[in-house]
């Protein structure tokens, strides 16, 4: 499984756009890129997933360049409630192994 | 739907004791998994299952057993608890087919081994 590398922590202020980049140099052809959010004392929550180019939903956008060796999670106009740990995962949908491995994650601190 | 449920929420064990952490889901998901999360760390995959009767090891399987006799349930057994197994344990489930790697997580079980 491809290993991911993310910044350990990031700070931002309310109302700013936050971009968190994840490196996954060994991503395989079948692998998708998935981002999760985790608040203290809770299980992770799915945010967004993509394979290539750009994906957008009501919560975030995911940008994936053509070589797919990295991806960027973009959170528009963050609020204090976006303070959490964000995990980038790389794994295959089509295989039946189903394994999803979490890395260390990025702790985002949003300040007033 | 209740989603993914875990029991108990909290547990204290003494070294050498055994116990079973329960996990159930009512979404008819084929895939279920167990993770542990140590303080200030990310989640590590212990065991996972792609369907009833099928289980496999994750990153840190030693000291844990699992079985999957039904689609709904995926219990995690600690054979002989050790202080190094003090952690928060999360169970998760998802469908295997389709376009989503969206796992649904339970609320977690906080385990302390003395």
Contacts of residue B85, Cβ cutoff 8 Å, sequence gap at least 6: B36, B63, B78, B111, B113
> Which residues of chain B fall below pLDDT 70?
97-100
User: Which residues of chain A does B107 touch, with a Cβ-Cβ cutoff of 8 Å?
Assistant: 42-43
Helix (H, G, I), strand (E, B) or coil at A82: helix
Q: Chain A contact for B56, CB < 8 A?
A: yes
Give the tokens for residue A19: 């971009």
Residue B24 CA: distances (Å) to CA of A72, A103, A105, B28, B29: 34, 25, 27, 10, 10
Q: Chain B contact for A13, CB < 8 A?
A: no
Question: A32-75 pLDDT, tens per residue?
Answer: 899 999 999 899 999 999 999 999 999 999 999 999 999 999 99
pLDDT above 90 (res A101): no
């Amino acid at each position: 499984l491809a290993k991911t590398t993310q910044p350990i922590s990031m700070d931002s202020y309310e109302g700013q756009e936050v971009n968190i980049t994840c490196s996954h140099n060994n991503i395989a052809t079948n692998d998708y890129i998935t981002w999760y959010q985790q608040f203290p004392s809770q299980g992770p929550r799915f945010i967004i997933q993509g394979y290539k180019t750009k994906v957008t939903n009501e919560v975030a956008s995911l940008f994936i360049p053509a070589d797919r060796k990295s991806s960027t999670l973009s959170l528009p106009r963050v609020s204090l409630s976006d303070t959490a740990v964000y995990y980038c995962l790389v794994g295959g949908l089509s295989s039946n192994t189903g394994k999803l491995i979490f890395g260390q994650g990025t702790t985002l601190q949003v300040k007033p | 739907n209740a989603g993914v449920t875990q029991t108990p929420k909290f547990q204290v064990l003494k070294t050498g004791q055994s116990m079973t952490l329960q996990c159930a889901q009512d979404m008819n998901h084929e895939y279920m998994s167990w993770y542990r999360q140590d303080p200030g760390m990310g989640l590590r995959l212990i065991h996972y299952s792609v369907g009833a009767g099928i289980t496999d090891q994750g990153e840190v399987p030693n000291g844990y057993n699992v079985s999957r006799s039904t689609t709904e349930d995926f219990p995690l057994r600690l054979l002989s608890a050790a202080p190094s197994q003090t952690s928060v344990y999360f169970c998760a489930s998802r469908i295997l087919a389709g376009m989503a790697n969206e796992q649904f997580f339970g609320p977690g079980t906080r385990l302390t081994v003395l």
